[in-house]
Amino acid sequence: MLRSFLQGELFGSIYGRPPVEVVALHGWRRDHADYEQLGSLWRDDCAIIAPDLPGFGATPPPGLAWDSAQYAKLISILIEDEIGAPVVVLGHSFGGRVAVRLAASRPDLVKSLVLTGAPLAAPRSTTQRQKKPQIAITYRVARQMEKLGLVSVDRMERIRKRYGSPDYAHASGIMRKVLVNLLAETYSDDLAKFACSVHLVWGEEDTEVPIGVARSIAHAVPGSQLTELPGIGHFVPTDAPTALAKVVEAAVLASRS
C-alpha cells in the first residue's frame, strides 16, 4: 500500500511490522515496487521503509537539480522524523549512491550498508569495460559543435538520444540535470569514511555495473563482505530477492547486538 512520509514530501511503502530497521533505496527510473518481493519474504518482527525517491514513482521531482548529497539529506530527515533511530540502509544502483553519501555524512543514522549494483568505483578488471570509442568521439565532437553554435538544440537532442545512455534518453527537464550531476560524482572519499559494516550483493552477469565494480569497492572498504550471485544481472532486488533478503536480515541481526 502506498503511504506518504514527511507530510507528503515522500511517498512509498512499508513492509513488515514496526519497528522500522531498514530503509531501502531504489535505482534510477525505478521505484519502491522493486522491493515488494523482498518485503513479502521479510521478517515479522521489524519493518522496511521503501520510499519513492524524488522524481520517481509517486514522489514529484525536486525543485532544483539535486546531487546525491541532497537526496541523502532528505533520507536523513526521513530517518530522524519517521523512525527516530539508526537503521540498515539498502541501496540499489542510484539508491546505492545516495546510501553511500548518507553513511559518509551521517554515520550516526546508519548501522550498516547493503549495496547492490551501485556505480561507486571503476572495475578492478579492465576486461569488464565495454566502451564504444567511435560513439564516444562522435558525441564529444557534437557537444563541442553545439557550444560553438554549429549544431542546433533539436539536432543535439537527437544526438543525445542516439548516443547517450538509455537513462539520459528517458530523462527530461530537471531530472536530466540531476542525472548529469550524478554522473560527475566520485565516491572514493566517502568509501574511506565508513564507520559501519558494508555488505555487497552483486549479480555476476550485471552488465550495467559489472562485478569488477563490486570487487573495487570491497578492496577500498576493509572488512566489507561481497556476495556474488551467479546468473543474476543488474536487478538483484527483483531477480534475486531471497538472496538479498538473507544478507539484509543478517545485517539487521548483527546491528542489534
DSSP string, 188-215: HHHHTT--SEEEEEEETT-SSS-HHHHH
Position 32 confidence tier, pLDDT thresholds 50, 70, 90: very high
Question: Would the pLDDT of 127 be above 50?
Answer: no
- Mean per-residue pLDDT, 58-73: 97
Q: Kindly provide the residue ranges of all beta strands, DSSP E only, lying in the chain, ordered along the sequence.
A: 3-5, 10-16, 20-25, 47-52, 87-92, 110-116, 197-203, 225-229
Mean pLDDT calculated for residue range 162-187: 82
pLDDT class of 133 with cuts at 50, 70, 90: very low
Residue 147 has pLDDT above 90, yes or no: no
The mean-pLDDT minimum among 45-54, 128-137, 223-232 falls in 128-137
Give the start-to-end residue ranges of the domains of the chain: 3-126+181-256, 128-180
User: In the CATH hierarchy, which fold is given to the domain comprising 3-126+181-256?
Assistant: Rossmann fold (3.40.50)
Phi, psi of 165 (to 5 degrees): -70, 160
Give the global pTM: 0.86
Do the Cβ atoms of 22 and 43 come closer than 8 Å?
A: no
How long is the chain?
Answer: 257
The answer, yes or no, to whether residue 223 has pLDDT greater than 50, is yes
